[in-house]
Amino acid sequence: MRRVVCPGSFDPVTNGHLDIIGRTSRLYDEVVVAVLINVEKKSLFTVDERVETLQTVTLEYGNVRVEKFHGLLVDFCKQQGIPAIVKGLRAVSDFDYELQMAQLNYRMSGVETLFMSTNPEYSFLSSSRLKEIARYGGDVSGLVPDLVRRMLVERLRG
C-alpha cells in the first residue's frame, strides 16, 4: 500500500489545503492528514476541532485519514510506517523553507518529501490571512469550506 502524509496546523483548513489533499488522494492508496499539536502556538481552533473538521471535509475522498501528532514529523512517519511527506508550495518563498526541511528530514530519517505546486486559484491563501479577513467581517466564501466559514464567523464574531 502506498501511503503518504500531508502535515500542517490547519488552523483553519482552507480550500488550498483541500486541493493538495484531494490531488494527493488520487495518487496514493492512503493519505494521512497529520494535524500538528503545537503547544507554543496560540490557535483559533483546538486540535480536536481541527481534526473533526478535516474528517468532515475530506469524507468524499475515501482514502484520507486524519490524525493528530506532537513532536517531530519524521517520528510520526516512522511510527505510522509512512515513507513520504507531501507539501504544497504556493511561492518560491515556500520552497526555500520547505527544501531545507525536506533535506533535514531525509538526513534524520530517510523520509522523502514531495512537493506539489498549489493550484493558482489558491496560491495566495493562508490560514492566518483568512482569519484576519474573517475577524474584520470580510467574506471568505469560496476560500474555505462552508463549514469552516461558519465556524470562523461564530468564533471570531460570535
Q: Which residues are annotated as a binding site for substrate?
A: 9, 41, 73, 87
C-alpha cell at position 46: 483546538
**Which residues, in sequence order, are CB contacts of 8 under 8 Å at separation 6+?**
17, 33, 34, 35, 36
Cβ atoms of residues 14 and 131 within 8 Å: no
Cβ atoms of residues 8 and 128 within 8 Å: no
Whole-number Å distance between alpha carbons of 90 and 132: 19
Positions at the binding site: 9-10, 17, 41, 73, 87-90, 98, 122-128
Q: Looking at the annotation, which residues are catalytic?
A: 17, 41, 90, 127
Instruction: Please give the DSSP secondary-structure letter assigned to residue 67.
Output: E
56 backbone dihedrals φ, ψ, rounded to 5°: -70, -50
